[in-house]
Amino acid sequence: MHPDFVSPRYGGASLGSLLPSIAARLAGETPILDIPRARRYVLFLVDGLGWYPLETHADHADTLAEQLASATALTCSVPSTTATSLTSLGCGTAPGHHGVVGYSFLDPERDQLLNALTWEGGPADVASFRCHDTVFQRLSKTGIACGAVSLERFADSALTQLAFQGTAHLGITSEGNREHFIDLVHESLRTNQVVYCYERMLDHDGHGHGVGSWQWLERLVQIDDTVAELAAQLPPETCLLVTGDHGMVNVAEERKIVAEDEAALSGCRHIGGEARFRQLYCDDPGRVAASWGEFLGERAHVVTRNQALDAGWFGPSVERRVVPRIGDVLVAMRQDWGVMTAAFPGEFSLVGMHGSLTEQEMVVPLFSFAPR
């Protein structure tokens, strides 16, 4: 592990421990994370809410800033990306068990890259691709009903099936309408003891304009207001937990390396992952790792799959069927560098990025608003 990087704390203070801790509290058992006791829980996940970006811009988030000193620092999974983090959250386990090992990664049965968010390139039979039940499914078997509040179009997505199976979904039809969002949370609480809700726009504005841009800061203010209002309006005996799925760093144009422009970055059958965490699929991992490592130097930490597995990047153990989904070579970028590929032209317009193991990307806050 490079000294600049943060190791994921699987089984401890990590995103994957959150729902198992809620389940433990509801069962009267000792949780992994010391969350408040309550009869009901609302888990509000803000996409892109990293600890250090929030700390840097705390003057735009009065409610969260006031609670930051008492918040719990969690790590997300590796890579620090939405699809992997949400599945770790929903399944309560590390990527090596749930099998969603990145933003884009290989389906080895078809030797084809799939996008875990859009499911482009993914198999039609999502159930056969799934490796692990969700915590929501396990809770429902004990008689605890669970709900989810997110965009209407997410209701039947592949990622919802992988990470949030077992929830009754209520769809947001007016994104950005705080009253509508809070009304849906209250509606879900009428029939569910655990309600997951999701806000995506902080991440969206970070990608498009950068962390610290006026668009990102304005969105942070809006989210902070939503948290304050939601906490004030929740019914008695209901605990609100607020967290993120990853942080973000800004990557300037001059820090974007294009793989196809450099002869040393050739030799790959597929280039997956994302700019901050490339997953390379190749026939000669040793040669590719050496070539990429020599060219990138201090700009990246390049490892083979076996080295990443030994370092526990994907969990203390990795299921056999998950192993070939992980890149033969992994390229975790340092500082504020990114490796782009012409295979994904849309990523060239991104300003804010994530995926690597820096503290800015890996550490997310957990805020607890105790029940009345």
pLDDT, one tens digit per residue, over 104-147 is 999 999 999 999 999 999 999 999 999 999 999 999 999 999 99
Query: How much of the chain is in helix, strand and coil states, percent to nearest 5?
Result: 40, 20, 40
Q: What is the DSSP annotation of 90-121?
A: HHTS-HHHH---SSEEEETTTTEEEETTT-TT
Nearest Cα to Cα of residue 259 among 281, 292, 224, 214: 292
Whether 2 shows a pLDDT value over 90: the answer reads no
**Residues whose CB falls within 8 Å of the CB of residue 214, separated by 6 or more in sequence, listed in order:** none
Whether 74 shows a pLDDT value over 90: the answer reads yes
Q: 13 in helix, strand or coil? A: coil
Which two tokens mark 92? 């309560």
pLDDT at 3: 81
pLDDT, one tens digit per residue, over 282-317 is 999 999 999 999 999 999 999 999 999 999 999 999
Which two tokens mark 65? 């800033």
Residue 168 burial (CB < 10 Å; 0-12/13-18/19+)?
Answer: middle
Q: List strand residue ranges (DSSP E) for 83-237, in order.
A: 104-107, 112-115, 146-151, 168-172, 194-199
Mean pLDDT of the region 51-76 = 96
> CA–CA distance from 186 to each of 38, 148, 166, 332, 352 (Å)?
16, 11, 19, 41, 33
β-partners of residue 72 are: 366
Q: Which amino acid is at 6?
A: V
Whether 62 shows a pLDDT value over 80: the answer reads yes
Whether 271 shows a pLDDT value over 80: the answer reads yes
Which two tokens mark 241? 């937990």
Q: Where are the alpha helices (DSSP H) in 27-77?
A: 51-56, 62-67
pLDDT band at 18 (very low <50, low <70, confident <90, very high): very high
Provide the CB-side half-sphere exposure for 41 (13 A, CA).
Answer: 27
pLDDT at 5: 96
Residue 305, phi then psi, degrees to nearest 5: -55, -45
Which two tokens mark 356? 């690597």
| Distance (Å, whole) CA 168 – CA 145 | 8
pLDDT band at 72 (very low <50, low <70, confident <90, very high): very high
Name the DSSP class of 12. S
Average pLDDT across the chain, whole number: 96
Query: Contact, 60 vs 348, CB < 8 A?
Result: no
pLDDT at 94: 98
Q: What is the pTM of this model?
A: 0.96
* Radius of gyration, CA atoms only, the chain: 20
| Distance (Å, whole) CA 219 – CA 210 | 12
